[in-house]
Structure 1
Amino acid sequence: MARYRAEGLWQGRSLPVELMAAARAHGERTALITPEVHWTYAELSATAARFAAGLLARTRLRPGDAVMFQMGNVAETVVAYLGCLLAGIRPVCTLPQHGTREIAVLARHIGARGLVLQADFGRGQLPDQARTLLADGAVEEAVVVRGEVFGTAVGYDDLLSAGATADPAALPYHALPPEGVAVFQLSGGTTGLPKIAPRQHEEYAYNGALWARTLGWGEGTVVLYPLPIMHNAGVSLALQPALLSGATLVLAPSADTGTLLDLIERTRPQVLPLVPPALAIRLLEEPRSHRTDLSCLTDFVVGGQKLALEVAERLRDELGIAVRQKFGMAEGMFLLTPPGATEWLRHHTVGAPLSPLDEIRILRPGGDEEVPDGEIGELCVRGPYTIRGYYRAERHNASAFTPDGFYRTGDLARRHRRDGVVAYSIDGRIKDVINRGVEKIHADEVEDLVMRHPDVANVALVAMPDPVLGERACAYLVMEPGRRPLTVATLGAFLLGEGLAKYKLPERVESVESLPLSNVGKVSKKDLRQDIEAKLTAETA
């Protein structure tokens, strides 16, 4: 930490101090565009300050408290996020798709007191979830930032009204310690021990400013972001770097291809900072894409999983798009195709780290020995915007970090030295995680819930390959004697009833008499993955 400050990477100021300084510098320039609003920096920062003052005046929330977020891609989400930072209240970046159980587990682990929600999101299920969370004591305060206010919840307009005369200079953010936790980001499942990445003020501000500087953002840059803005990717690749650099953020309500093309035509963005391969494929398959002028897109950054070479070449040849690849994590470290990289590097690697003080080791899995260039090992990282430990997880941290502070990512990688550049490729993972597009499904979380079903004797959740999303989840079930096999529909209904998010549901179910075991007596998921791959190959032959 001392080194990062001494070399000028960390500035000794809190994240909201940095954001408000940028807002003053860029006052009348456009900060945020959605289908409903077109706000300047002055308008956005003033609204966020009113929200912050209203939170402190109309709720029991106080600086240092944490609040869960269940909001979609609307302007009010940005106001609420910034407002919490200004009030010294720490956002917990959950998603509206998370179920009651997941929110409760996370809230209790972190000690969160509040819930910020969008009542009109999706099918309107969030108010009922909030009532349950309040009744169970998982949270104490609910704030409805959009949609109809219910029960004891406090509404958005009420907060803005209560904070209308507030002086931003009197808000608590001026006194926040720069080394303190600004935001909680999620990494991993929510059973047993949730993995929460505590993002500190200085490092999170540096993360956003560094990303903007690396991509050359500034006044006149238009950034289009179609994925969930409250993901770490949304916050650290779009929201904060845009606002810190004076760029304009265009927030798409969804990643629907038609919506995306409409916004490209209307706003002419230069940057799409995170395009999952599935979205890239949908753009290629949409006839309208081939009639739309996409020449404004100078930075089309693909991430979330390895991009197939065929897709990269089709984007180049059919749509005139030269891709850059990215790899990142809620824990911090980002890798990105460097400017001027050759096509081989752009198509075959995820690039190089952003900061000159980012450090990467490729270690032999399970050990501390570094492997030679070109050999597969575990990606281990340390740097000025990478966490040094999960929140309240001392036992897990002992194995997740090396003694000298390198985070063991669980991803398999190789180091390449080519064309005068050191870059990295990601070649699989050690951890039992299913990458469904940009979403991560942790097998142990789903398996724990499946085992609650009275008819299930054993379960193993594995990844099965998918040409669009990369992977989907397949559940291998051993049923209790005499019980009927479950289907995708019946298992899904049970898991939804247990509060599991819909995107984590198994999309295929295989009933077996027993699960294969390894030579040390553990379930051999390698054999199961090979089995489902063989079945899929036979079905498509």
Structure 2
Amino acid sequence: MSAMVKENRAEDPGLVPYDDESRERYRALGWWNGKTLPGELVDAARQHASRPALVTPEVTWTYDRLFEEARAFAAGFAGRVGARPGDAAVFQMGNVAETVVAYLGCLLAGVRPVCTLPQHGVREVGLLAEHTGARFLIAQADFREGRLLGQAQELRARGSVEEVVVARGDVPPGAHSYDDVVSDGRQSDIDPLPYAVLQPDDIAVFQLSGGTTGLPKVAPRLHEEYVYNSRAWAEAMGYGPNSKLLYPLPVMHNAGLALAVQPAILAGACLVLAPSAEITGLLDLIEEHRPDTLPLVPPALAIRLLESPAVRSADLSCVRDFVVGGQKLPAEIAQRLEDELGLQVRQMFGMAEGMFMLTPSDASEAVRHHSVGTPIAPGDEVRILSPASEDEVADGEIGEFAARGPYTIRGYYRAQKHNGNSFTSDGYYRSGDLARRHVTGEGVFYSIEGRIKDVINRGVEKIHAEEVEELIVQHTSVNNVALVAMPDPVLGERGCAYLVLEPGAEPLTVSTLGDHLLSLGLAKYKLPERVEIVDALPLTNVGKVSKKALRGDIERKLTDETGDDR
């Protein structure tokens, strides 16, 4: 290992490693194999060199071509931009071929990608860059009328990042062109590429856990375990060289990488990357490319698919696996997908921290419609705990879902406070999700029954109430605030802000409150979509704000307004 990487690893006191006993056990059982993520991906690409690897509306590339581009980016990123093994680079990119190339190129350069959603604003990206020590930002200039390019310029001007690489558009002064990086890399004689100095227990990728607050929760995914995570998913889904995956959600996210990009490469499959989850475009891609798998469809997208007139004339017979996840899927929606569209639903549960669960393809309708299945790997360990202790609850009772295993992190990055609350004394990650273990004649399965944490699940996007509340109270008219989830038939939940105003203040509206939050750099999808003005917030018997009471209040109001008391 180089002195550079040794130095960078020594500067990571916030990394909670796997203990020696677990590491030795996982390797002895063959779950870990002592190789790095880029090393494994390169080996797979060589094996499947001439097979189709990546399809977008603009490119159709073989494995040879994809990794030729990635190697050029890696060499140019090191030579032209100055990236070194152990550095970190924040991504603000959509679903385009350049994103996949830059991600793989970072891995080959020994650089740690920091995953963000394109919806994130300056505030979120700046916090993540500071927390991970990211020196670089890779941005897509033509994403949504150039919003990401403007953010990149502001982040560089603030000093949040040192260098910016811009793809797909005009490059502002002081930034690097993606095309120039790749062009320089093609002429480079770097051999071997920088990833050769990495070790299997180094950090490979930084994944954001749901959202950010004043103290980000970042999951450091290590090379060896992230390889296993992706390979176990590929095996659970039955991916092989003849598989074709269609992925419509943001690819620079744990789901996009660990359910689609990495498993596809490791299995020699073809990934069809949709630019968005717009229904007409998805149906066109299905008609043109005939994918057999959609590895992650949020319930909101499944509902929009059912409601689309265009779907009635579409041929979906190629889709053998239609996997729904992100939040609980109503059983009646699963039944309609099967009855009306011929799509046999499987459900999954996953998290940036590791653990994936999946309903088996041959499971009964009761299991597929009412559970998220069982862990995908033999080394996965699950406990359903009392939320107030480390005691397990009885089978069939609701408790907190906790997990440990060969690809579940042992601690958040540089987050001692979070780690003290999020992990048991023996290393199980406490997810904050309420779950139930079902022991049936078919086996043991789990269902997700809600959550303990104060998080709003808006489709596949998670909104941490505390983060938004901290910004709302900065408004001069606001004395106190509570943000709660209100039910929504399509997205599952939306945010409702209960406000206590200062005496004499003008009432805030959804629009004026949104303007305030946007001015502070909050992502648009996190804005409250309803405002309720109250004289005081209800309290529990221990003096805390009763969000349960507020959720009940908004549910009653919505029922009164719609007349729907189901």
TM-score, length-scaled by structure 1? 0.99
Residue 183 (structure 1) aligned to one of 185, 205, 229:
205
Residue 478 (structure 2) aligned to one of 456, 469, 478:
456
Residue 424 (structure 1) aligned to one of 442, 446, 455:
446
How far residue 189 of structure 1 moved from its aligned partner, in angstroms, is: 3.4
How far residue 395 of structure 1 moved from its aligned partner, in angstroms, is: 2.1
Residue 504 (structure 1) aligned to one of 526, 530, 534:
526
**CA distance in 2 between partners of 1:421 and 1:344 (Å):** 12
Indicate if the aligned counterparts of 2:130 and 2:160 stay in contact, CA closer than 8 A: yes
Which stretch shows the higher mean deviation, 74-83 or 415-424? 415-424
Equivalent residue number for residue 107 of structure 1: 129
How far residue 524 of structure 1 moved from its aligned partner, in angstroms, is: 0.3
Indicate if the aligned counterparts of 2:83 and 2:109 stay in contact, CA closer than 8 A: no
Residue 145 (structure 1) aligned to one of 146, 167, 186:
167
Indicate if the aligned counterparts of 2:213 and 2:464 stay in contact, CA closer than 8 A: no
Indicate if the aligned counterparts of 1:99 and 1:500 stay in contact, CA closer than 8 A: yes
Residue 290 (structure 1) aligned to one of 293, 301, 312:
312
Indicate if the aligned counterparts of 1:435 and 1:472 stay in contact, CA closer than 8 A: yes
Runs ≥4 residues deviating over 6 A: none
**Which amino acid is the alignment partner of residue 239 of structure 1?**
V
**CA distance in 2 between partners of 1:316 and 1:192 (Å):** 43
Equivalent residue number for residue 161 of structure 1: 183
**CA distance in 1 between partners of 2:474 and 2:58 (Å):** 44
SS of aligned partner of 1:434:
strand
**CA distance in 1 between partners of 2:416 and 2:441 (Å):** 42
Cα deviations by residue, 1:124-165 (Å, 9 ceiling, x for unpaired): 122222222112111000001221111110001111111113
Equivalent residue number for residue 237 of structure 1: 259
Indicate if the aligned counterparts of 1:53 and 1:171 stay in contact, CA closer than 8 A: yes
Residue 55 (structure 1) aligned to one of 77, 80, 84:
77
Equivalent residue number for residue 70 of structure 1: 92
Indicate if the aligned counterparts of 2:245 and 2:293 stay in contact, CA closer than 8 A: yes
Cα deviations by residue, 1:41-93 (Å, 9 ceiling, x for unpaired): 00000100000000011113211100110000000000000000000000000
Residue 236 (structure 2) aligned to one of 197, 214, 226:
214
Cα deviations by residue, 1:164-217 (Å, 9 ceiling, x for unpaired): 133574201122110010000001432221000000001111111111111110
How far residue 339 of structure 1 moved from its aligned partner, in angstroms, is: 2.8
**CA distance in 1 between partners of 2:486 and 2:514 (Å):** 17
Equivalent residue number for residue 11 of structure 2: none
Cα deviations by residue, 1:251-274 (Å, 9 ceiling, x for unpaired): 000000000000000000000000
* Runs (5+) with no aligned partner, structure 1: none
Indicate if the aligned counterparts of 1:97 and 1:502 stay in contact, CA closer than 8 A: yes
* Runs (5+) with no aligned partner, structure 2: 1-22
**CA distance in 1 between partners of 2:189 and 2:61 (Å):** 20
Equivalent residue number for residue 246 of structure 1: 268
**CA distance in 1 between partners of 2:153 and 2:187 (Å):** 31
How far residue 363 of structure 1 moved from its aligned partner, in angstroms, is: 0.6
Equivalent residue number for residue 152 of structure 2: 130
Which stretch shows the higher mean deviation, 178-187 or 391-400? 391-400
Instruction: Provide the alpha-carbon RMSD of the alignment.
Output: 0.9
Equivalent residue number for residue 24 of structure 1: 46
Indicate if the aligned counterparts of 2:210 and 2:461 stay in contact, CA closer than 8 A: no
SS of aligned partner of 2:186:
coil
Please say if 1:446 is aligned against 2:468.
Answer: yes
Indicate if the aligned counterparts of 1:186 and 1:196 stay in contact, CA closer than 8 A: yes
SS of aligned partner of 1:209:
helix
Equivalent residue number for residue 498 of structure 2: 476
Please say if 1:492 is aligned against 2:492.
Answer: no
Please say if 1:93 is aligned against 2:115.
Answer: yes
How many matched pairs? 541
Please say if 1:332 is aligned against 2:357.
Answer: no
Indicate if the aligned counterparts of 1:90 and 1:182 stay in contact, CA closer than 8 A: yes
Please say if 1:467 is aligned against 2:481.
Answer: no
Equivalent residue number for residue 320 of structure 1: 342
**CA distance in 1 between partners of 2:91 and 2:364 (Å):** 41
1:8-23 maps to which residues of 2 (within 5 A)?
8-23=30-45
Indicate if the aligned counterparts of 1:145 and 1:156 stay in contact, CA closer than 8 A: yes
TM-score, length-scaled by structure 2? 0.95
Cα deviations by residue, 1:385-412 (Å, 9 ceiling, x for unpaired): 1001000011221111001100000000
